Amino acid sequence: MLLAGFDAGQTSTRCRVCRWQDDGWQIIGEGSGPGVSHLEAAGGAERFRQAVLTSLKSASEGEGERKLDAAVIGASGIEQGSALQPKATALLADALSLPEEKVLATGDERTALRGAFPEGGGIILISGTGMICLGRDHQGKEHRCGGWGWMLDGAGSAFDLGHQGLQLTLQMADGRRPDHPLRQRMWEQLGCRGHADVKAWVVQPSRTAADLAALAPLLVAAADAGLPAAQDILQRSAAALVSCAATVARELALPQPAVAGLGGVLQHPGSVQRAVEVGIIAEIPGARWAPAASDACWGALTMARELVLRPR
């Protein structure tokens, strides 16, 4: 079986193409492409299609034309059981010239959970451009918390860190807070020289959550260097993430759950990861911070294999 697994976030899309044989997986290639937006947003369907085709082409480079047997994509904004899911599945089938029963589009949190905990229960806490928390018990029941988009529920995400950091620089600039090199560093990254430039940058129609998420590392660096206002923002973000994980553990009645931190904010050692890990252990009885068994692309590939072996 030749299978493809996609992990499509708001910033970029990864694709892994593998052959499944009796003795296991053989990796054919890996590649990347542009990110996706919400399917109902302007241009969302075309962005989805381009993300799939570009990343697949990148993963298949040098391999020639090979017909896939099945494919699964975990994409940002595809809610499990929503009206968008069959629409996205149909788009994926059309893009790959496959029958719909051989493809599945679902949320990237579900493929990430399957990759992190292929068998049994666990909780994943994702903090990348956006954030979301999802858990599964040992009977297969799932519960999700957070992740309702940057306009509604971005606390704990890189977008939120960058957004609050930029707000902080404006407070510095007009005297509400002491000035700090963070302001100059953020404004230089944006190509801005003053308040008006920042306001004009934010209101550009092409502005995305990923643009603000790109500012998060500057805020984290300022917090690590001892800026109290930046440290307060990091602590609030960490508390929001811990609250989501604790809610999932409670709703699923998970005893001593394993919690895996995913996404750029939590997969790299730093002050946010440390604060979240300490909070998880304090708030969830018996919880342990655990590495993911594998990534979302492997989760998608596992689900693609099941489409062939156990058709839905």
The Cα 50–Cα 45 span in angstroms is: 9
Q: Give the pLDDT confidence score for residue 175 in this predicted structure.
A: 95
Is pLDDT at 96 greater than 80 in this prediction?
A: yes
Indicate if the pLDDT at residue 54 is higher than 90: yes
Beta bridge partners of 105: 73
Is the pLDDT assigned to residue 311 strictly greater than 80?
Answer: no
Does 22 score more than 90 pLDDT? no
Structure tokens at 111: 């493929």
* Cβ atoms < 10 Å from Cβ of 276: 26
- The two three-digit tokens of residue 287, written as one number: 């919880």
Rg over alpha carbons for the chain, rounded to the nearest Å, is 20
Q: What 8-state DSSP symbol labels residue 82?
A: S
* Helix, strand, coil % over all residues of the chain, rounded to 5: 45, 20, 35
pLDDT for res 231: 96
Neighbours of 185 (CB within 10 A): 17
175-231: per-residue pLDDT in tens?
999 999 999 999 999 999 999 999 999 999 988 888 999 999 999 999 999 999 999
| Distance, CA of 177 to CA of 193 (rounded, Å) | 18
pLDDT digits (tens, 9 = 90+) for 223-276: 999 999 999 999 999 999 999 999 999 999 998 999 999 988 998 778 899 999
Nearest to 3, CA basis, from 57, 49, 51, 67? 67
Task: Find the angle CA(152)-CA(145)-CA(81) to the nearest 5 degrees.
Answer: 90
Q: Does the pLDDT at position 65 exceed 80? A: no
Please check the confidence at residue 169 and state whether its pLDDT lies above 90. yes
Would you tell me how many other CB atoms lie within 10 Å of the CB of residue 157?
Answer: 31
